[in-house]
């Protein structure tokens, strides 16, 4: 029986790598999938992982009817045995409903990948709808790590190395951008609450005020 499966986790936990692995395994068995994405770090119409793997994908744009797109694709002779949807947190709730309809009406497996919460620890609308509708939710077992070595559970947005907690929910960035740019970092809950990024931790360690200095 076909399923809508939501693979969730923080940034840097291998979601896109797993998506590409599922695509490889199924295509090696002669199955043909349709890959969708939204706002990938590699640019429009790309599904990429931080390991350097990349493949072509269909860009889901605002207002796009994913169900209608797939029906049109199949009507024109295109084949679809399953769907892979990366960056699913960026989809609108109604587009998640369309994914569920694909499972129910077209009897296709849909594998959706995305982070659950934003830099403010608030649910993305797309992720919330996936949690509400998915037949199965899988938390990835590859644990991202905070700079302190603890398990990373929260996504932080940074600017100049400093954590920010205000702004638009969706601003495309990466964990590998220069410090002066908008970037992202995964943190444990403790350091997310304290707004302590790796950069601010290093600055604090180098500060002459960290330890008392005895003067003679």
Which of 23, 87, 138, 180 is catalytic? The answer is: 87
**Rounded to an integer, what distance in angstroms lies between the CA atom of residue 192 and that of residue 2?**
38
Contact 184, 148 (CB under 8 A): no
Cβ burial of 205 (10 Å; 0-12, 13-18, 19+) is: exposed
User: What is the DSSP code (8-state) at residue 117?
Assistant: B
Query: Does the annotation count 87 as an active-site position?
Result: yes
**Rounded to an integer, what distance in angstroms lies between the CA atom of residue 187 and that of residue 146?**
4
Number of other CB atoms surrounding residue 145 within 10 Å? 15
Question: Long-range contacts of range 118-125, CB-CB < 8 Å, 24 or more positions apart?
Answer: 118/155, 118/169, 119/155, 119/156, 119/157, 119/164, 119/165, 119/184, 120/165, 120/169, 121/154, 121/192, 122/169, 124/89, 124/90, 124/169, 125/92, 125/93
**Rounded to an integer, what distance in angstroms lies between the CA atom of residue 180 and that of residue 161?**
7
Active site (catalytic) residues: 87
């Amino acid at each position: 029986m076909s399923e809508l499966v939501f693979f969730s986790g923080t940034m840097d936990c291998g979601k896109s790598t797993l998506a590409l692995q599922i695509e490889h395994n199924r295509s090696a068995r002669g199955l043909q999938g349709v890959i969708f994405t939204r706002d990938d770090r590699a640019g429009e119409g790309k599904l990429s992982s931080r390991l350097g793997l990349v493949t072509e994908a269909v860009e889901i744009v605002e207002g796009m009817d994913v169900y209608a797109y797939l029906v049109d694709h199949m009507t024109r002779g295109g084949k679809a045995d399953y769907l892979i949807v990366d960056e699913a947190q960026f989809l609108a709730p109604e587009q998640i409903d369309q994914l569920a309809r694909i499972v129910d009406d077209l009897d296709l497996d849909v594998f959706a990948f995305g982070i659950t919460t934003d830099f403010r620890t608030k649910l993305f609308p797309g992720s919330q709808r996936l949690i509400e509708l998915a037949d199965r939710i899988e938390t990835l077992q590859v644990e991202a790590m905070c700079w302190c070595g603890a398990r990373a559970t929260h996504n932080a947005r940074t600017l100049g190395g400093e954590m920010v907690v205000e702004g638009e929910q969706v601003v495309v960035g990466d964990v590998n951008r220069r410090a002066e740019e908008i970037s992202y970092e995964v943190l444990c809950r403790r350091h997310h609450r304290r707004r302590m990024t790796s950069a601010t931790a290093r600055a604090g360690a180098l500060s002459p005020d960290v330890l008392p200095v005895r003067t003679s």
